[in-house]
Structure 1
Amino acid sequence: MVLAVTGSTGRVGGLVAERLAPAVDRLVVRDASRAPRLPGDPEVVEATYGDAEASERALRGVDVLFMVSGAESEVRRQQHRTFIEAAARAGVGHIVYTSFAGAAADAIFTLGRDHHDAEETIRRSGMAWTLLRDNFYSDFFPLFAGDDGVVRGPAGEGRVSAVARADVGEAAVAVLQAPASHAGRTYTLTGPEAFSVREACARMTAALGRPFTYVEESVEEAYESRRVWTQEQWQLDAWVSTYLAIGSGLLADVSGDVERLTGHRARTLEESLGG
């Protein structure tokens, strides 16, 4: 089995590549100079998701592909389609894709709609597939705060079963160790419990030893407060809809898929913040 891994310069893809080495045969990266050095010395090839020709060349001869979703972008949907279609043309047999727990054509979180589009492209591709639908990352929650430690947004008291990136990576490792047994399966990866943004702030304060607080914003206030960073509507929609998705309560369900795949319980918020 020839295994290719994308995203190896990031947290999830990097964990997968490291844990599976030397069984990883190829790293597909945007910048070869940033590729990790791994046991087995896998081949390193450069390709971006939006470059159809480079992607097809990079994926020829690959049996199983681990595809980490691309960086947030206004054109990410098209980039994903381009890469997935290139994988199919290259003859990839099985693709394992990191999606989103709320992926749907009408997802409240706007980028969840991009993931739905990628899933549909994968299903139409003719490749075998496995979908890892991750909830929001619990270890990202401190990054929601400004320099003053305040998290602002229209999340209300909605709850979210956020998942540690380490658990996502370990779940992916389990799938990639025996991909055929996971073909056609969709896994929802969550933490062991659901919490509100307000509760997350209290727990982060205790865990990290610096103060975090939550300030509720209206939707209009949320858009306006973020315009100091960008005027790009897609980005504003993504940021604000993160909180709206949490507020909806639709991301509060807890799944046991992390434990079923990895053999250990999912990490708590505090455990994810501790690394």
Structure 2
Amino acid sequence: MIAVTGANGQIGGRVAAALPDARRLTRMDAEYRDTPGMRRALDGVETLLLVSGRESKDRVAEHRSAVDAAVGAGVRRIVYLSFAGAAPDCTFTFGRDHWHTEQHIRSTGLGWTFLRDNLYQEMLPKLAGPDGVIRGPAGDGRVAAVSHDDIAACAVEVLTNADTGRYEQQTYDLTGPEALTLHEVAARLGVGYEPETVEEAYASRAHYGAPAFEVAGWVSSYEAIAAGELAAVSGDVQRLTGRPAKPLQPLSPR
């Protein structure tokens, strides 16, 4: 039995559609922070796709709760959707959450596979403001953004062949086929790009009234691009799926 969390989301939904016999789990079934509820939802499951939860100040604790529930339910393998360059001190603050989650999964003794995806290609157009301009402190750094379809296809391959041991205790970096500057991203999407300083980035986002941890995540994603931490291009999508990763597509005319 395979279970897919985030089954209403962009990645989990695609994976669940490709695996109709999998158990689909959403927040309506159990919240990650609800360890007993998650344990009941995972009863009888052998392999779990753990899609990372929404950003929150308690996300690491929520992930640990879900992992502990999997252990308690007798799950044997966890395929975790992580992030490129996850490390305790990586520039992208949310990437640090993924590293801590990976370490907790490793500590359980379960089988695991980590799929570390780059930024989503589908997210890049959403970076543009109402005036059609992307603004952030990315400088001339590059990003090897990857598509939802490619991430989901990689997850399906790993989940359906988990019993072979081929992907056990392995980490894969999921990227697109090219690393682009935000100048190049903007040109392909038909929008503009204006680099900001870090100070300007925080100031320009202050009007949203978002929590400090969330604003830090937004800004540090650009800083990670500037630092070169999202520039590496990997062939892991092709290795897992047998086909090349999709390039960033221009926006369709309205």
Q: Which residue of structure 1 lines up, in the alignment, with residue 89 of structure 2? A: 106
**Equivalents in 2 of 1:144, 1:203: separation in Å?**
14
Work out which of the residue numbers 66, 74, 91 in structure 1 matches 2:74: 91
Structure 1 unaligned blocks of 5 or more: 32-45, 206-211
Q: What letter matches 2:93 in structure 1?
A: T
1:192 corresponds to 2:177 = yes
1:70 corresponds to 2:67 = no
**Equivalents in 1 of 2:3, 2:183: separation in Å?**
40
Work out which of the residue numbers 158, 161, 172 in structure 1 matches 2:155: 172
Alignment of 1:41-56 (within 5 A): 46-56=29-39
**Equivalents in 2 of 1:57, 1:126: separation in Å?**
21
**Equivalents in 2 of 1:28, 1:8: separation in Å?**
6
Moved over 6 A (4+): none
Q: Which residue of structure 1 lines up, in the alignment, with residue 239 of structure 2? A: 260
1:149 corresponds to 2:132 = yes
Q: Deviations over 1:18-48 (max 9, x none)?
A: 11123x1x222112xxxxxxxxxxxxxx101
Q: Which residue of structure 2 lines up, in the alignment, with residue 133 of structure 1? A: 116
Q: Which residue of structure 2 lines up, in the alignment, with residue 27 of structure 1? A: 24
Once the two structures are TM-superposed, the CA of residue 230 in structure 1 deviates from its matched residue by: 2.0
Q: What letter matches 1:248 in structure 2?
A: A
Alignment of 1:214-225 (within 5 A): 214-225=193-204
Q: Deviations over 1:142-200 (max 9, x none)?
A: 11111111111100000011111110000001111101321111000000000011110
**Equivalents in 2 of 1:174, 1:27: separation in Å?**
17
Q: What letter matches 1:14 in structure 2?
A: G
C-alpha RMSD of matched pairs (Å) = 1.1
Once the two structures are TM-superposed, the CA of residue 102 in structure 1 deviates from its matched residue by: 1.4
1:160–1:252 CA contact under 8 A, matched in 2: yes
**Equivalents in 2 of 1:147, 1:11: separation in Å?**
24
Structure 2 unaligned blocks of 5 or more: none
Q: What letter matches 2:172 in structure 1?
A: Y
DSSP 3-state at the match of 2:115:
strand
**Equivalents in 1 of 2:65, 2:113: separation in Å?**
19
Q: Which residue of structure 2 lines up, in the alignment, with residue 36 of structure 1? A: none
1:154–1:219 CA contact under 8 A, matched in 2: yes
Tell me whether 226-235 or 95-104 shows the greater mean CA deviation.
226-235
